[in-house]
């Protein structure tokens, strides 16, 4: 890969109970992620994905582009909007810079036309 | 009040990394590479044992990051909090059997556009004192 190249697009549709499994795996049981009734009471349309789950999909797209996950050396993101279960997420990215054996990849996670993670910048090692 | 707490450091949190926890996390986020699931595959790829996906940092750092969010001197209103931004910088890979110690510091506080920005920085090191992850957590509180 070189500057201007796209990383392979990653598509994933978290199922209805994914937020519960992610809560168990991560330890984050905030009810806005696992309790649709609670989420509605605080003004959300339903239970929402953990932002760090969506960030993990951005990490996965970059790790797979690099060859394996441990080649991802830095990732910074801004969370914008909300992600929901049972809707497809698309992660796409463009190599914007090459320096010191690393590629800098501008990455976006989009769901239903909303960029739920944007201004994500990844650095991956290339050999 | 939050201004006065800038620089506050929270007690180190020690986390012992287990193979099944790595598998559980990898399954939840869809990391299917055998290096996260199978010891022999991980060793064949040059790791000591099953290796954690990078974002597993949220698991071993949680015990240091959580208490800061609920610290009365920091004064973050959790009910009104959204996770605004996140950065991780990774060093040495984390494998099953590692013991990871994470420290956390309340790094910065600011207000703009009616929002409060709370920034924490955590540093995680392994049992050989090698840095495995440095993270910046930006939490935003709307309104009061």
Rounded CA-CA distance A30/B29 in Å is: 18
**Which residue in this structure is represented by tokens 């071993």?**
B60
B36 reaches A (C-beta below 8 A): yes
- Does residue A63 surpass a pLDDT of 70? yes
- Does residue B143 surpass a pLDDT of 60? yes
- How far is residue A95 from each of residues A10, A47, A79, A126, B39, measured CA to CA in Å? 15, 34, 21, 12, 33
B88-126 pLDDT, tens per residue?
A: 999 999 999 999 999 999 999 999 999 999 999 999 999
B143 reaches A (C-beta below 8 A): no
Average pLDDT of chain A to the nearest whole number? 96
- Give a yes or no: residue A1 inside a domain: no
Contact A4, A94 (CB under 8 A): yes
Residues forming a β-bridge with A34:
none
Rounded CA-CA distance A32/A46 in Å is: 8
Exposed, middle or buried: residue A4 (CB in 10 Å: 0-12, 13-18, 19+)? exposed
Whether residues A59 and B53 touch (CB distance < 8 A) is answered with yes
A52 reaches B (C-beta below 8 A): yes
Rounded CA-CA distance A68/B20 in Å is: 20
- Give a yes or no: residue A110 inside a domain: yes
DSSP states of chain A as a string?
--TTPEEEEEEE---TTHHHHHHHHH----HHHH-HHHHHHTT-SS----HHHHHHHHHHHHHHHHSSGGGEEEEEEEE-S---TTS-EEEEEEEEEEETTEEEEEEEEEETTEEEEEEEEEEEE--
Overall average pLDDT of the A68-83 stretch: 95
Range of the domain at A29: 6-125
Overall average pLDDT of the B79-88 stretch: 91
The pLDDT value recorded for residue B144 is: 55
B64 reaches A (C-beta below 8 A): no
CATH of region B2-142: 3.10.129.10
A103 reaches B (C-beta below 8 A): no
Q: Looking at CA atoms only, how far is residue A113 from chain B in angstroms? A: 20
Q: Which residues of B touch A124 (CB under 8 A)?
A: none
Rounded CA-CA distance B24/B41 in Å is: 17
**Which residue in this structure is represented by tokens 């080649």?**
A71
- Please, which pLDDT band fits residue A75 given cuts at 50, 70 and 90? very high
The pLDDT value recorded for residue A32 is: 92
Structural domains in chain A (count): 1
Burial B17-54 (b: 16+ CB within 10 A, else e): bebebbbebbebbebebebbbebeebeeeebebbbbbb
Q: Looking at CA atoms only, how far is residue B66 from chain A in angstroms? A: 10
Which of A69, A81, A88, A117 to mutate against chain B (most B CBs within 10 Å)?
Answer: A69
B44 reaches A (C-beta below 8 A): no
Q: Which residues of A touch B48 (CB under 8 A)?
A: none
- Give a yes or no: residue A61 inside a domain: yes
**Residue A83 sits in a domain of what CATH number?**
3.10.129.10
Average pLDDT of chain B to the nearest whole number? 95
Whether residues B58 and A68 touch (CB distance < 8 A) is answered with no
**Residues recorded for chain A:** 127
B77 reaches A (C-beta below 8 A): no
Q: Looking at CA atoms only, how far is residue B18 from chain A in angstroms? A: 12
**Taking chain B, what is the end-to-end CA distance rounded to the nearest angstrom?**
13
Helix (H) or strand (E) segment spanning residue B79 = none
* Total Cβ atoms within 10 A of residue B101: 17
């Amino acid at each position: 890969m070189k500057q201007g190249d796209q990383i392979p697009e990653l598509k994933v549709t978290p199922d209805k109970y994914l937020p519960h499994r992610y809560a168990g795996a991560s330890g984050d049981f905030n009810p806005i992620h696992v309790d649709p009734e609670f989420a509605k009471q605080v003004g959300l349309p339903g239970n929402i994905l953990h932002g760090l789950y969506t960030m993990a999909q951005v990490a996965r797209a970059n790790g797979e582009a690099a060859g394996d996950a441990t080649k991802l050396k830095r990732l910074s993101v801004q969370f914008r909007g909300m992600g929901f279960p049972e809707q497809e997420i698309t992660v796409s990215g463009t190599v914007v810079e090459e320096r010191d054996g690393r590629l800098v990849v501008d990455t976006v996670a989009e769901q239903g036309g909303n960029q739920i993670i944007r201004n994500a910048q990844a650095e991956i090692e290339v050999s | 009040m939050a201004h006065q707490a800038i620089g506050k450091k929270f007690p180190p949190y020690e986390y012992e990394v287990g193979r099944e926890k790595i598998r559980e996390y990898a399954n939840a986020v869809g990391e299917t590479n055998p290096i996260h699931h199978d010891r022999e595959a991980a060793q064949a790829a040059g790791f000591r044992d099953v290796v954690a996906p990078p974002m597993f940092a949220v698991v071993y750092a949680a015990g240091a990051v959580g208490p800061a969010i609920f610290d009365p001197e920091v004064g973050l209103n959790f009910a009104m909090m959204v996770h605004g931004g996140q950065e991780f910088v990774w060093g040495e890979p984390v494998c099953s059997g590692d013991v990871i110690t994470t420290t956390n510091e309340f790094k910065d506080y600011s207000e703009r556009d009616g929002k409060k920005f709370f920034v924490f920085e955590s540093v995680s090191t392994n049992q050989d004192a090698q840095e495995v992850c440095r993270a910046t957590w930006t939490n935003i509180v709307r309104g009061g």
